[in-house]
Amino acid sequence: MQAKENNQNLKRYTIVTAMDNEAGVLSQLAHLFSRKGYNIETIAAGWTVDQNVTRFTIEIYSDDDRIKLLCAQLRKLVPIHYVEILDPSKSIRRELMLVRVHAADRSARNEIIQIANIFRGSVIDITPDSITLSVTGDDQKTSAFESLLKEFGIIELARTGIVAIERGEM
């Protein structure tokens, strides 16, 4: 994050990579980012249609020259199948956010549920003094949702990190 603030040329990149689904691959991947000086903004992983292959979506700040080098370095890791940088205009990015907020009275509860409806979020759990919500979207949407809930008092918040996929060809 430090590097991001100090350098105006940096922009956010979405890297998608697939690796053999075996012990230690995450640490190989994470290690490469850290030793090349990157802070991973988000990382999300899960297996694909083939359970032997894990697909990662990773977002970092970089520039056009350095990102090419990083991808070439990633491609050298033996468990790696492919590495791609997604074009934001041709891809879909989503994350899931879970958030529990204070809702001690009826008006707060109503207002929170209304906000959730506008964001197509859902109420997952409700207690006499709190509500737990989930919302899906890109990081701008989830951040906007988060900022609207702040005034009620966020008790706990969790994000999955972005998963991304290319749009189909028209």
Partner 1 sequence: MTNINNTGKKLNGSEILIQCLIEQGVDTIFGYPGGAILNVYDKLYDHKEIRHILTAHEQGASHAADGYARSTGKVGVCFATSGPGSTNLTTGVATAYMDSSPVVFITCNVNSDLIGRDSFQEVDITGVTLPITKCSYIVSNVENLADTVREAFAIARSGRPGPVLIDIQKNVTASECEYYPVTPDEYFMTAGTRIQRLKSTHHPSVGYPDINLEAIDELAELIDNSEKPLLICGGGVVRAKASQEFRTLAARIDSPVAITVMGGGAFPGDSPLKTGMIGMHGSQASNMACDACDLLIAVGCRFSDRVTLNPAGFAKNAKIVHIDIDASEINKNVMTDLSIIGDAKKILNLLLAKLKRDKKNDAWKNYVFSFKRETEYDDPEEGNLTPKQILSAAAEILPQDTIVTTDVGQHQMWAIQHFKFDYPGQLITSGGFGTMGFGLGAAIGAQVGNPDKTVLHVTGDGSFRMNCHELCTEEYYKLPIITLLFNNSTLGMVRQWQHLIYHERYSQTTLDRGPDFEKLAEAYGVHGRHVTDVEALRAVLKEAVASRADGKGWVIDCRIDMDEMVRPMVGGNSFIANFMLD
Binding site for partner 1 (CB under 8 A): 20, 23-24, 27-28, 31, 35, 65, 68-69, 72-73, 75-78, 80-82
Of 76 and 106, nearer to partner 1 (C-beta) is: 76
Pair 126, 152: CB distance under 8 Å: no
- CA–CA gap between residue 7 and residue 15 (Å, rounded): 20
Q: How far is the CB of 37 from partner 1 (least distance, A)?
A: 13
Q: How far is the CB of 74 from partner 1 (least distance, A)?
A: 9
Query: Beta-carbon neighbour count of residue 132 at 10 Å?
Result: 17
- CA–CA gap between residue 118 and residue 18 (Å, rounded): 35
Q: How buried is residue 29: exposed, middle or buried, by Cβ count under 10 Å (0-12/13-18/19+)?
A: buried
Q: How far is the CB of 18 from partner 1 (least distance, A)?
A: 11
Q: How far is the CB of 75 from partner 1 (least distance, A)?
A: 6
Of 34 and 122, nearer to partner 1 (C-beta) is: 34
Q: How far is the CB of 104 from partner 1 (least distance, A)?
A: 45
3 state DSSP class of 158: strand
Of 19 and 162, nearer to partner 1 (C-beta) is: 19
Alpha helices in the chain (DSSP H): 2-6, 25-35, 64-75, 106-118, 139-149
- List Cβ neighbours of 14 (8 Å cut-off, separation of 6 or more): 57, 58, 59, 85, 86, 88, 91, 93, 162, 164
Of 28 and 136, nearer to partner 1 (C-beta) is: 28
Of 28 and 132, nearer to partner 1 (C-beta) is: 28
Could you tell me the two tokens for 160? Answer: 């999955």
